[in-house]
Amino acid sequence: MAPPKITVPELRARKTQGPKIAMVTAYDATMAKLLEAGGADVLLVGDSLGMVVQGLGNTLPVTLDEMCYHGRAVARAAQRAHVMADLPFMSYQASPERAVESAGKLLKEGGCESVKLEGGRDFAEHVRRITAASIPVMAHLGLTPQSVHAMGGFKVQGRGNEAAERMLEDARILEQAGAFALLLEGIPSELGARITQAVSIPTVGIGAGPGCDGQVLVCYDFLGMYPDLRPRFVKRFAELGQAVVDATRAYVSEVQSGTFPSEAHSFGPGPKAEPTGNQPVVAKAPPGYGPASGE
């Protein structure tokens, strides 16, 4: 029997009832299954896939169709975790109508259960219209990667009284517009705690300090699989990148030396069927192949 799904009402209840929300990114079925087995509450199909999966310098080129593709893969594997997807760059900014259409596509074709969009008060109407269509929305404030050029790079946001007060007001506006949660990225810890206390919806931080109602990390970051960028807020809970390198070296060495595959990894000739009369010979699948092995 499949475990009960984590729903939006349950995530909202975590604000007062706990425990804190543990959210991680996922981009494929295999990783989604492993992360869920580890207890992740929310699997975010992030447009960060542009950088960690596609090898791009930022998230801007990622398309809505690509988000749907990866969303379907994650959704197939997730039984308990809530599946959320990013609305990619220019899939919602042009108009609230476009935002509703794009969000609907992420649910209808991408298999997701909620969406996340970047931006403050300028996108309150977009949030309002999406939620009016019964699509749950997490809003994203602070360091918003889709605004990398406007911000002049990946820089901490909300420093200084004026910037902090504006972001605090943005949080209240987005809550009133219907967002069920807020993602706070790359802001001072004190501001993260202030926003968390000022709103009645849960906050999930990434580089926003321990005062948030939950945390999110890119899976390749906390697993130590993405060496090109190591932000201060990332803690590596494993070094799987080096483990992959070491395993590949061992594989290459055994292939080149001829020690792999050994007899243990090879198939024998198998039984031979003797023909009788005019009956055709039916070849049997060798061990390790066919329905008995799951293929």
CB count, 10 Å around CB of 76?
14
Residue 292 DSSP one-character state: G
Query: Which of 7, 40, 36, 45 has the alpha carbon at shortest distance from 21?
Result: 40
Q: Please tell me whether residue 192 adopts helix, strand or coil conformation.
A: helix
CA atoms of 70 and 167, how far apart (whole Å): 31
Residue 186 phi/psi, 5-degree rounding, is: 60, 50
- Measure the CA–CA gap between 220 and 67, rounded to whole angstroms: 18
Residue 125 neighbours by CB under 8 Å, 6+ apart: 96, 177
**Can you tell me whether residue 214 is helix, strand or coil?**
strand
> Which is the catalytic residue, given 185, 239, 263, 274?
185
The stretches of the chain forming alpha helices (DSSP H) are 8-17, 29-37, 49-52, 64-77, 96-108, 124-132, 148-151, 161-177, 189-198, 219-222, 240-257
How many beta carbons lie within 10 A of that of residue 248, not counting itself? 10
Q: Is 185 a catalytic residue?
A: yes
Structure tokens at 102: 């794009």
Active site residues: 185
